[in-house]
Amino acid sequence: MKSLVHPAVIIASILGIFGLVWIALQFSVTIEIEEPLPVNTIPATRSPAPTPTTPAQDAVVPTPNPAATSSGALRMSNQTDQPVRVALLAKRSPNTYTQAPAHWDFAPLEGNEEGLILSLPEGSLTLNKGDIVVAFAQDGSGRYWGPYVVGETPTPVWNSQAQEWQLTLN
């Protein structure tokens, strides 16, 4: 006999994962490792202080990756043979996420070819940098995809022509 997982257990699991992600983001630590200084075999001599320079007129100024700062809709495609739930934890300020994640359910192969634009009950959905997207199989296999951090992880992918984020589950 196949046992089914109650939807409350799934939602509690999703909220628990988002809580762990939130905690990890709040307390993340960056460790920088410095290269060891080379050992001089030549006696040290005093050199004049460097003079400041200004960049040349034709110097290339790096620009940020447009996908890292772009806001747009989310086009979702489930190319798996499993029913999945996609959950979104939207970032609203540098260290604040919305209290309740939004979620959508997809049948196997739903949106397979072109994908489907996701929306909210209140209207359209716009993903912003830092939003977290995760997907879970609903067939009891325990399979999941993500978490994806919009604009920071390789997925979802920014489509500059359509001005939308695209997430394809394989």
- Give the position of tokens 């983001």: 25
CA dihedral of residues 161, 163, 164, 170 (deg, nearest 10): 10
Query: Taking residues 73-85, what's their average pLDDT?
Result: 96
- pLDDT at residue 8 in the model: 61
- pLDDT at residue 1 in the model: 55
The CA-atom distances, in angstroms, between 91 and each of 22, 99, 131, 144, 149 are: 10, 10, 5, 21, 10
Q: Where are the alpha helices (DSSP H) in the chain?
A: 7-26, 66-69
- pLDDT at residue 84 in the model: 97
User: 3-class DSSP state for residue 153?
Assistant: coil
84 contacts 118 by C-beta, under 8 angstroms = no
Instruction: Say what percent of the chain tops pLDDT 70.
Output: 54
Lowest mean pLDDT of 22-31, 63-72, 113-122, 123-132, name the range.
Answer: 22-31
- Tell which wins on pLDDT, 5 or 88: 88
CA dihedral of residues 166, 97, 122, 167 (deg, nearest 10): 10
124 contacts 102 by C-beta, under 8 angstroms = no
Residue 32 has pLDDT above 90, yes or no: no
pLDDT in tens, 84-137: 999 999 876 566 555 567 899 999 999 988 999 999 888 888 898 999 999 999
How would residue 67 be classed by pLDDT, with cut points 50, 70 and 90?
Answer: low
76 contacts 104 by C-beta, under 8 angstroms = yes
- pLDDT at residue 21 in the model: 52
How would residue 147 be classed by pLDDT, with cut points 50, 70 and 90?
Answer: very high
- pLDDT at residue 51 in the model: 47
The CA-atom distances, in angstroms, between 139 and each of 23, 106, 156 are: 28, 12, 23
Strand segments, DSSP code E, in 57-169 are 73-78, 84-89, 91-93, 96-97, 102-106, 116-117, 119-120, 123-124, 132-137, 144-149, 157-159, 164-169
Residue 143 has pLDDT above 50, yes or no: yes
> Average model confidence (pLDDT) for the chain?
74
- pLDDT at residue 29 in the model: 42
How much of the chain is helix, strand and coil, in % rounded to 5? 15, 30, 55
Domain range list for the chain: 1-26+72-170
